[in-house]
Amino acid sequence: MLDVEHRGGDTPHTILTLGNQWGRLASAPFWSSDQPRIAGIARGDVVQVIGELTAYRDRRQLSVTSIRVLPRDGIDWRALLPSVGPVTPYWEALDRWRQELRAPRLRDTLALFYDDLDFRTHYEQCPASLTGHHAALGGLLKHTAEVAVIARTIGRVAGADPELLLAGVLLHDVGKVEAYTWDGPFGSTDAGALIGHVVLGSLMLERRVAAAPRPPCTPFELGILHHLILSHHGSREFGAPVEPITLEAEILHQADNASAKTASMAQALGDPQHFFGEALLSHRGIWQLDQRRAYRGVSDWGRNESNGGKGGVQE
């Protein structure tokens, strides 16, 4: 599947970004004289491409020699998108922790979402981001499970309310199911572009509580849950309408950030486009890492020596 970017300026050209479940790769520019070759090709098309892998300014690109659009009928387009794989283990963990909740009003409020089969279907498919951390089918559910593990661990040490903290984890990103699209290249809905997933999540909570046959929680408690959603990005600079002012909100923010940042680092280290050949240090800063470079040198720390092997360091 592909994305299409038309660039203007003194030398107008078009860049195609080709992607499948293994990653993304930009094409070499299609200049004005090349436009007939890609006439009619649009974002989300499934294409068959032949080309040569080249490099420009330290970045890999594909010099396309042949490209044709394939009919989408009969093609499992989801097989072309990155995926986290089976999501059952994530559901099993989250549902088990939810069933252990003793606070009836927290349990009932979460049930407005997590007992809704339609919501669960969307949630388990949704990516956690469009191009950054956990940008894959099922990425949102995996990210949520990671945040839960991190937050519950910190919460035990910090003395936070473990049940409220779990509720915050399960609610903090629900707005992404209304903010993102994944029926082709990952994209943003109009609501996602105009409002953003943080506020959308708060609005979704308000709607579901208002539509419940009886209030699942008090207005005071609802305000606490809204704060967890609205503050989980930590600061206004990063899209939080308000900053965390409760212990549970602070832990949720830190756990959310830890899951996102570590996933971005793992993704960067595994992406060959950031490294020249067998180089251990990426050739430039990586945007997912706030323009830091990444280092992929590893050692067995003598493990193989204890098993009769030579051990060693990858250099």
pLDDT of 142-162, one tens digit each?
A: 999 999 999 999 999 999 999
pLDDT band at 44 (very low <50, low <70, confident <90, very high): confident
The phi, psi pair for 64, rounded to 5°, reads -80, 125
Q: How far is CA 287 from the centre of its chain?
A: 15
Q: Cα dist. 6→12, 19, 33 in Å?
A: 8, 17, 14
Residue 48 to residue 267: CA distance in whole angstroms: 26
Q: Is 58's pLDDT higher than 60?
A: yes
The pTM for the full model equals 0.84
Radius of gyration of the chain (CA): 23
pLDDT band at 88 (very low <50, low <70, confident <90, very high): very high
- Do the beta carbons of residue 295 and residue 313 sit within 8 Å? no
Residue 151 to residue 149: CA distance in whole angstroms: 6
pLDDT band at 47 (very low <50, low <70, confident <90, very high): confident
Q: Which region among 55-69, 118-132, 257-271 has the lowest average model confidence (pLDDT)?
A: 55-69
pLDDT band at 306 (very low <50, low <70, confident <90, very high): low
Residue 183: strand, helix, or coil? coil
pLDDT band at 174 (very low <50, low <70, confident <90, very high): very high
Domains and CATH numbers, the chain: 2-78 (2.40.50.140), 81-266 (1.10.3210)
Residue 259 is predicted with a pLDDT of: 97
Mean pLDDT of the chain: 91
Angle, in degrees to the nearest 10, between helices 197-211 and 219-230: 160
The neighbour count for residue 27, using CB atoms within 10 Å, is: 21
Query: Who contacts 216 (Cβ-Cβ below 8 Å, separation ≥6)?
Result: 105, 108, 109, 111, 112, 209
pLDDT band at 253 (very low <50, low <70, confident <90, very high): very high
Residue 23 is predicted with a pLDDT of: 72
Type of residue found at 145: A
Q: Is 314's pLDDT higher than 60?
A: no
Residue 148: strand, helix, or coil? helix
Residue 108 is predicted with a pLDDT of: 98
Q: Is 311's pLDDT higher than 80?
A: no
**Closest C-alpha among 139, 210, 220 to residue 173:** 139
The number of residues making up the chain comes to 315
Average pLDDT over residues 116-141: 96
Q: Is 78's pLDDT higher than 80?
A: no
